[in-house]
């Protein structure tokens, strides 16, 4: 039986930190599902992205560690996704530490350490400087 992993994110300005997260998430199991925030959900979160949902989905689908990409439409869908996709482990960056502990009722929750020295926010800031 395949061990399924799921992670969530916007994945807009793709960088090596994202790749490290996906690689480390995939190493925890056999099948990695990536839920990408839709454009509508980003608006609800007061976030903007450079790439549209469809463009971000195309990019993430091309990464060898990723087995399936789904849409994230709301904060509340995580439990349903875990049940519907028979997920064993939920993975997210440790900047969310503690926020998703309630999911331990449904699967294992792992907070992965962020990659030092890179973030989408840092890229945006650096571009403003130039």
Active site residue 45: yes
Q: What share of the chain is helix, strand, coil (3-state, %, to 5)?
A: 40, 20, 40
Which listed residue (2, 3, 45, 80) is catalytic? 45
Nearest by Cα to 113 from 95, 101, 99: 95
Which residues, including other chains, have CB under 8 Å from residue 88's CB and lie 6 or more apart?
3, 4, 5, 29, 107, 108
Which listed residue (2, 47, 80, 97) is catalytic? 47
Active site residue 47: yes
Q: Where do runs of H (alpha helix) occur along the chain?
A: 16-26, 39-44, 53-61, 77-84, 120-129
Nearest by Cα to 3 from 90, 87, 69: 87
Catalytically annotated residues: 45, 47
């Amino acid at each position: 039986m395949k061990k399924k992993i799921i992670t969530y994110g916007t994945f807009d300005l793709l960088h090596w930190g994202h790749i490290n997260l996906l690689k480390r998430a995939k190493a925890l199991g056999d099948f990695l599902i990536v839920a990408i925030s839709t454009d509508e959900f980003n608006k609800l979160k007061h976030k903007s992205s450079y790439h549209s949902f469809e463009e971000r989905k195309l990019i993430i689908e091309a990464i060898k560690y990723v087995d399936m990409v789904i849409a994230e439409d709301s904060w509340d869908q995580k439990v349903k996704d875990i049940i519907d996709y028979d997920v064993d482990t939920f993975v997210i960056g440790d900047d969310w530490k503690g926020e998703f502990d309630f999911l331990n009722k449904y699967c294992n929750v792992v907070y992965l350490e962020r990659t030092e020295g890179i973030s989408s926010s840092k890229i945006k800031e650096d571009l403003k400087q130039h």
